[in-house]
């Protein structure tokens, strides 16, 4: 079998899909997206045609190593997100070739379903209680939200008090029926993160994500020693090499690598197994589209230490298109009792509706992260 074409589709709300075709009629889908950089990733995928057209798609690991080790420059968000989409698509092809789900080819599933959660509250946390109650009515028992708006390196206790009051009110409203994951989203700096983690311990979050931005693994490790809240990091790390320091410095109690940003299913499984050796669970990051989520579910099937799966059904980003819009009815995602089932179909286990993909690609998108500024006019981390 030989790869004959790499086709990319920029589709709403902010995604990029990849279809890898072969000379035997089999094809696979991947999602090589980096949010806010979809056109760049499409260009990167087409650069990879040089290496991929004419290759045997079954040689997944050799392809991974060839792309990763080619030339001087390794890793990083662009290359590894492109690689992620290719890796997902090749696993999809291999699974279809053998008539088996990806997890069956990687050792077999260790679970039938995975607990799942999604965002509430938007970019600036708002309307948390109402959205939390809607989520609970839909069967969820966990959610995540931004803990704060923009915050200066050193900010006021008026803001700290407002943050604690907002989250405490949510905890009072939902009791212990809904687990709360908080995202500091890299918008909090180390001095304020230390204060907030202490103040927020009484609301008992299941984890705090990106307590400081992931460039500061050392600061994260310092914070981890001071709090009982599990600290989570990973959405902005891009390979097992990036995660090594997190493990060695004991900087995290849980990690959230993104199957669409770390080099695909192959690298996610490696990172998951590395984490297991440190008694660290994984909670795959996925505020992305249906192909990325299907790839995550294959990882969740294989990694014993996968504890909860993020997904974006109905979240604030999904204007103009949601996950299930792009899938045939029989393979649409459905959360039941707070769990997502592990897909059992061949490959990634989903049936992408290519007619819809082509239609929506004519609309495309121009999604960009917002630009925020502090009161003094300086740029604020989003």
The residue among 137, 142, 146 whose CA lies nearest residue 115 is: 142
Question: Least distance from C-beta 283 to Mg ion, angstroms?
Answer: 11
Burial state string for 91-109 with b = 16 or more CB within 10 A and e = fewer than 16: bbbbbbbeebbbbbbbeeb
Outline where DSSP puts E strands in the chain. 3-11, 15-22, 27-30, 113-119, 142-146, 179-183, 207-209, 231-233, 254-255, 309-310, 339-341, 372-373, 379-380
Residues 170-199 that bind Mg ion (CB under 5 A): 183
d(CA 352, CA 366): 22
CB 235 within 8 A of CB 285: yes
Cβ proximity to Mg ion, 2 vs 368, nearer residue? 368
Known catalytic residues are 185, 285
Cβ proximity to Mg ion, 87 vs 183, nearer residue? 183
Residues 321-380 that bind Mg ion (CB under 5 A): none
Question: Least distance from C-beta 1 to Mg ion, angstroms?
Answer: 38
Q: Strand 113-119 and strand 142-146: pairing?
A: parallel
Stretch that binds Mg ion, among 82-90, 110-118, 229-237, 300-308 (CB under 5 A): 229-237
Cβ proximity to Mg ion, 235 vs 325, nearer residue? 235
Stretch that binds Mg ion, among 5-13, 29-37, 121-129, 202-210 (CB under 5 A): 202-210
Instruction: Rule CB under 5 A: choose which of 209, 300, 322, 325 binds Mg ion.
Output: 209
Question: Least distance from C-beta 69 to Mg ion, angstroms?
Answer: 29
Cβ proximity to Mg ion, 183 vs 322, nearer residue? 183
Most distant CA pair in the chain: distance in Å?
64
Residues 9-48 that bind Mg ion (CB under 5 A): none
- Number of amino acids touching Mg ion (CB under 5 A): 3
Question: Least distance from C-beta 107 to Mg ion, angstroms?
Answer: 29
The residue among 357, 338, 380 whose CA lies nearest residue 18 is: 357
> Under the rule (CB under 5 A), what is the footprint of Mg ion?
183, 209, 235
């Amino acid at each position: 079998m030989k790869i004959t074409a790499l086709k990319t589709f920029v589709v709403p709300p902010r995604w990029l899909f990849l279809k890898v075709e072969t000379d035997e009629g089999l094809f696979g889908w991947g999602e090589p997206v980096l949010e806010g950089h979809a056109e760049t990733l499409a260009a990167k995928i087409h650069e990879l045609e040089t290496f991929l057209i004419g290759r045997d798609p079954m040689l997944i690991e050799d392809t991974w190593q060839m792309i990763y080790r080619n030339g001087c420059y390794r890793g990083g968000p662009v290359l590894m997100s492109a690689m992620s989409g290719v890796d997902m698509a090749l696993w999809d092809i291999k699974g279809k070739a053998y008539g088996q789900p990806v997890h069956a080819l990687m050792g077999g599933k260790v679970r039938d379903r995975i607990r799942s959660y999604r965002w509430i509250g938007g970019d600036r946390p708002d309307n948390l209680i109402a959205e939390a109650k809607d989520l609970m009515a839909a069967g969820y028992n966990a959610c995540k939200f931004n803990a704060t708006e923009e915050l200066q390196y050193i900010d006021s206790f008026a803001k700290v008090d407002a943050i604690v009051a907002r989250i405490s009110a949510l905890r009072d409203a939902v009791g212990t029926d809904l687990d709360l994951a908080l995202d500091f989203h890299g918008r909090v700096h180390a001095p304020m993160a230390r204060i907030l983690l202490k103040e927020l311990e009484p609301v008992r979050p299941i984890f705090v994500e990106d307590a400081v931005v992931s460039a500061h693994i050392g600061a994260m490790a310092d914070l981890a020693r001071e709090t009982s809240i599990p600290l989570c990091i990973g959405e902005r790390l891009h390979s097992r090499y990036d995660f090594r320091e997190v493990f060695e410095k004991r900087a995290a109690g849980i990690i959230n690598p993104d199957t669409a940003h770390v080099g695909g299913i192959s690298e996610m499984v490696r990172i998951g197994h590395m984490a297991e050796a440190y008694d660290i669970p994984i909670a795959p990051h996925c505020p992305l589209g249906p192909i990325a989520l299907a790839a995550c579910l294959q990882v969740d099937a294989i990694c014993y230490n996968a504890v909860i799966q993020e997904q974006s059904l109905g979240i604030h980003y999904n204007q103009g298109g949601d996950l299930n819009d792009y899938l045939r009815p029989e393979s649409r995602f459905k959360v039941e009792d707070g769990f997502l089932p592990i897909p059992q179909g061949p490959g990634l286990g989903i049936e992408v509706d290519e007619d819809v993909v082509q239609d929506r690609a004519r609309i495309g998108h121009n999604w960009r992260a917002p630009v925020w500024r502090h009161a003094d006019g300086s740029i604020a981390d989003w």
